[in-house]
Each structure stands twice: as structure tokens, then as C-alpha cells.
Amino acid sequence: MRNLLAKLYLKPELFSLGLLVALATVIALAPDLSFAGTGGAEVQTWYQDISNSLKGFWGKLIALAFIGFSLMAFKQGAIIPAIFLIFVGLGVGIIPDMVDARFTLLF
């Protein structure tokens, strides 16, 4: 067994082929696993809690913190990180709406 693993380690194309064959075998033998988690009912309450918190007071507080950090970064001369922090701060409240629009469009 150790000798076989050593040969596979030396030839990456054989290792990737073996990994692909193993994955195809698992999918062929258990097709239900390939559709696991596509319903989304088990994480709906978590998503709703996170979405409500990002749209409410905590989202405004996080956005304000990011914009404050960006002002401190501007003051220290770090322009690129400050611009990134501004975009993150402005995007905190928008992210749940973007996710809702993307995934409700398909179903």
C-alpha cells in the first residue's frame, strides 16, 4: 500500500485521475448525496436571523465601524485598504438583499 501511494505521489496526473474516479464512483453509488442540502430548509432560520441582523441595528453598527476604520486608514495614508473598507461598510446592508434577489430568481 505504501509503495502504491508513493507511486501516485510521484505522478500527480494519476492521483487526480484516481480522485476523479473515486468521486464518480461515490456519486454513482449514492446519487442522493449529490442533491444533499439543495432544499435549504435546515438553514433557513439561521439565514433569516443573520439577514435581519444585517438589515437592522447591528448592520448599521457594523457599517459605521467599517466606515470609521476606513477614515482611520485614510488618516494613516493607506488609501487602497480604506477604499475597500468603505465599500464593505456600504455593502453590509445590501448583501442580504443581493442574496435574496439572486436565489429567489432561480426558484
How far apart, in whole angstroms, are the C-alpha atoms of residue 9 and residue 3?
10
Q: How confident is the model at residue 105 (pLDDT cuts 50, 70, 90)?
A: low
- Angle (CA) 36-37-43 rounded to 5° is 155
Q: What is the pLDDT of residues 53-101, one digit of tens each?
A: 888 888 888 888 888 889 998 888 888 888 988 888 888 878 888 877 7
Query: What is the enclosing helix (H) or strand (E) of 60?
Result: helix 57-76
How far apart, in whole angstroms, are the C-alpha atoms of residue 4 and residue 18?
12
Residues near 21 by Cβ (< 8 Å), separated by ≥ 6?
none
- Residue 51 is predicted with a pLDDT of 81
How far apart, in whole angstroms, are the C-alpha atoms of residue 21 and residue 7?
17
Positive or negative, the CA dihedral 42, 45, 49, 52 is positive
Residue 92 corresponds to which cell in the numbers above? 453590509
